Amino acid sequence: MNADGRTRLDQTPEWTALAKHREELGNLRLREVFAAHPDRGTAYTLRVGDLYIDYSKHLVTDDTLRLLRELAAATDVFGLRDAMFRGERINTTEDRAVLHTALRAPRDAVIEVDGENVVPGVHAVLDKMAAFADRVRSGEWTGHTGKRIRNVVNIGIGGSDLGPAMAYEALRAFTDRDLTVRFVSNVDGSDLHEAVRDLDPAETLFVIASKTFTTIETVTNATSARTWLLDALGGEEAAVARHFVALSTNAEKVADFGIDTANMFEFWDWVGGRYSYDSAIGLSLMIAVGPDRFREMLDGFHLVDEHFRTAPAESNVPLLLGLLGVWYGNFLGAQSHAVLPYSHYLSKFTAYLQQLDMESNGKYVDRDGREVRWQTGPVVWGTPGTNGQHAYYQLIHQGTKLIPADFIGFAEPVAELSDELKAQHDLLMANFFAQTQALAFGKTPDEVRAEGVPEELVPHKTFKGDHPTTTILARELTPSVLGQLVALYEHKVFVQGAIWNIDSFDQWGVELGKVLAKRVEPALTEGADVPGLDASSRALVAAYRELRGR
């Protein structure tokens, strides 16, 4: 039993029914399934907003989908969803509400946390961000020496980096090309060094993004950035106010750091780091694309929020995607999930999803603190598709592992491309469609023989097929479409966490490494003795010190 009185997941009749169904189904052959149901290619599709979703190439039947939906009902996914949208404290281990959906709610919406409507506060910050972004973009906001800001450097890590960095890349075609926008996250000093080495400090604005404002990587890089700036501008502390702004929930720490809280854009503890880029954390993105485009992106998020909140189970896309992941991870033994965008602008999309999915659902205990007896979040990986084709697709096609994959593609390129480059788009998309076809239907030995291939090479050139994919297609990668895509994945992750009965909104697993790093640092710098350091780490520290000549 769970603390709420419900049966544990793997003892529910719905789970058992799925396990039995999986046995009975055996190895589903997509060729046979499509032969028996020629309309599957249109029947197994859904639309949400501008997204067309094809799930026909999955190893599922109508019965599988029905049983999965029954599992969702038994685990009350929609009940938890409603609690999230109502602002209940569903992040139980941190005792917090989970309300990233409020960040994109319309101005007149009412969403309460502890009896207070949070929507006016959300819009007040968005308005403040918009006013500031406009001042930077127009040149009205100048640096300490009176020069116009031409460079924006976002310093943050995890959710305070991946979201804005990914979205900046994704929406590059919509950015002000006269502005240089860079993202620094790594505590490796070379990250900051390379980001600023060709910039004029007098024209550079640092956006320090940290929910807690205690994250060591960010505070260290921000301190070094301040030194770099002050060294160049004559050391006057007053310069900091013109060149540093902060995005945080922690006004006290921001002030301690030396940033005027008038230059702080706030957000709230009910916004998780990996769900934060449409809060103040998106400021550098807003400066790059402008407030209107930013709002279009938020509208895209909201559209999918509303779909997730209201669509029935049969046509609810995040629910479907979440359930497909449960099917592969819990009943077919898949360990990972590939996300393969066929848009170079989405080159950071999968890295962003890694935090969203793996920090959310990489948990081994359930909400009641008991070890789970079922697989939870998959390893999420991938890079833009055509590059992947010449790297790891071999393993997806002919390896021994089951790797469900999402293919994301667009009908039109967005940028102002030359006619010749525009024409390349059909070639890109031909690859996109060809790959999911090859993965699903493969090539039989007889087909290989019919091409005159010598018998000894037939097994090597045979493709078994039955590699499942979801295809997500949209007309073009606009700000709204980006918002729709991200919200789709956010809610997919939510669905899976709800089914697995884990807290998708905490991240305790990151803590231990942080604590140990603090303990080990004096051993590296001063050779200090670290009590309790294991023999392997002790020897490594000694080797490191020797290599550094200490």
- Contact pick of 212, 347, 386, 444 for ligand F6P (by CB under 6 A): 212
Closer of 101 and 507 to ligand F6P (Cβ): 507
Cα–Cα dist 483/331, whole Å: 31
Closer of 226 and 274 to ligand F6P (Cβ): 274
Question: Smallest gap, in angstroms, from Cβ of residue 209 to ligand F6P?
Answer: 7
Helix, coil or strand: residue 125 = helix
User: In the chain, count of helices (H) and strands (E)?
Assistant: 24, 13
Residue with tokens 């076809």: 437
Name the residue among 130, 161, 462 with its Cα closest to residue 296: 130
Find out whether 241 and 230 touch, Cβ atoms under 8 Å.
Answer: no
- Contact pick of 49, 87, 143, 159 for ligand F6P (by CB under 6 A): 159
Residues within window 47-76 making contact with ligand F6P, judged by CB under 6 A:
none
Question: Smallest gap, in angstroms, from Cβ of residue 158 to ligand F6P?
Answer: 3
Read off the amino acid at residue 185: S
Interacting stretch for ligand F6P, rule CB under 6 A, among 89-97, 210-218, 252-260, 289-297? 210-218
Closer of 213 and 410 to ligand F6P (Cβ): 213
B/e letters for 425-450, b = 16+ CB within 10 Å, e = fewer, are beebbeebeebbebbbbbeeeeebee
- 467 has catalytic annotation: no
Name the residue among 253, 182, 195 with its Cα closest to residue 219: 253
Find out whether 95 and 89 touch, Cβ atoms under 8 Å.
Answer: yes
Cα–Cα dist 405/417, whole Å: 29
Q: What are 169's two structure tokens?
A: 């890349």
Closer of 129 and 408 to ligand F6P (Cβ): 129
Q: Is 211 in the site for ligand F6P (CB under 6 A)?
A: yes
Cα–Cα dist 29/417, whole Å: 41
Question: Smallest gap, in angstroms, from Cβ of residue 261 to ligand F6P?
Answer: 17
Residues within window 483-542 making contact with ligand F6P, judged by CB under 6 A:
507, 510
Catalytic residue of the set 390, 416, 456, 511: 390
Question: Smallest gap, in angstroms, from Cβ of residue 191 to ligand F6P?
Answer: 15
Name the residue among 494, 499, 503, 502 with its Cα closest to residue 81: 494
Find out whether 397 and 463 touch, Cβ atoms under 8 Å.
Answer: yes
Catalytic residue of the set 193, 401, 514, 518: 514
Going by their DSSP bridges, the two strands 264-266 and 336-341 should be labelled as unpaired
Closer of 158 and 483 to ligand F6P (Cβ): 158
Angstrom CA distances, 36 to 33, 42, 219, 497, stand at 5, 14, 60, 35
Question: Smallest gap, in angstroms, from Cβ of residue 356 to ligand F6P?
Answer: 10
Question: Smallest gap, in angstroms, from Cβ of residue 506 to ligand F6P?
Answer: 9
Q: Is 221 in the site for ligand F6P (CB under 6 A)?
A: no
Count of C-beta atoms within a 10 Å radius of residue 301: 25
Chain center to CA of 149: 30
- 461 has catalytic annotation: no
Q: What are 233's two structure tokens?
A: 């501008």
What are the DSSP E strand ranges found in 334-373? 336-341
Question: Smallest gap, in angstroms, from Cβ of residue 7 to ligand F6P?
Answer: 32
List all residues 6 or more positions away from 320 whose beta carbon is below 8 Å from its beta carbon.
46, 53, 55, 65
Residues within window 358-417 making contact with ligand F6P, judged by CB under 6 A:
359
Q: Is 93 in the site for ligand F6P (CB under 6 A)?
A: no
Question: Smallest gap, in angstroms, from Cβ of residue 412 to ligand F6P?
Answer: 33
Q: Is 284 in the site for ligand F6P (CB under 6 A)?
A: no
Going by their DSSP bridges, the two strands 45-48 and 51-54 should be labelled as antiparallel
- 443 has catalytic annotation: no
Q: What is the per-residue DSSP string for 404-438? A: -EEEEEESS--S---HHHHHHHHHHHHHHHHHHHH
Closer of 273 and 362 to ligand F6P (Cβ): 273
- Here's the x/- map for ligand F6P, 332-351, by CB under 6 A: it reads as --------------------
Q: How many residues interact with ligand F6P (rule CB under 6 A)?
A: 14
- Contact pick of 56, 75, 151, 160 for ligand F6P (by CB under 6 A): 160
Closer of 212 and 223 to ligand F6P (Cβ): 212
Closer of 91 and 218 to ligand F6P (Cβ): 218
Cα–Cα dist 226/228, whole Å: 5
Q: Is 282 in the site for ligand F6P (CB under 6 A)?
A: no
Q: What are 271's two structure tokens?
A: 């916004």
- Here's the x/- map for ligand F6P, 257-276, by CB under 6 A: it reads as ----------------xx--
Closer of 59 and 353 to ligand F6P (Cβ): 353
Closer of 21 and 274 to ligand F6P (Cβ): 274
- Contact pick of 151, 210, 221, 484 for ligand F6P (by CB under 6 A): 210
Burial class of residue 43 (count of CB atoms within 10 Å of its CB; 0-12, 13-18, 19+): exposed
Interacting stretch for ligand F6P, rule CB under 6 A, among 16-24, 154-162, 224-232, 385-393? 154-162
Question: Smallest gap, in angstroms, from Cβ of residue 359 to ligand F6P?
Answer: 6
Question: Smallest gap, in angstroms, from Cβ of residue 162 to ligand F6P?
Answer: 8
Interacting stretch for ligand F6P, rule CB under 6 A, among 68-76, 82-90, 95-103, 152-160? 152-160
Q: Is 215 in the site for ligand F6P (CB under 6 A)?
A: yes
Closer of 99 and 319 to ligand F6P (Cβ): 99
Cα–Cα dist 430/432, whole Å: 5
Catalytic residue of the set 217, 359, 467, 491: 359
- Which are the catalytic amino acids? 359, 390, 514
Contacting residues toward ligand F6P, per CB under 6 A:
157-160, 210-212, 215, 218, 273-274, 359, 507, 510
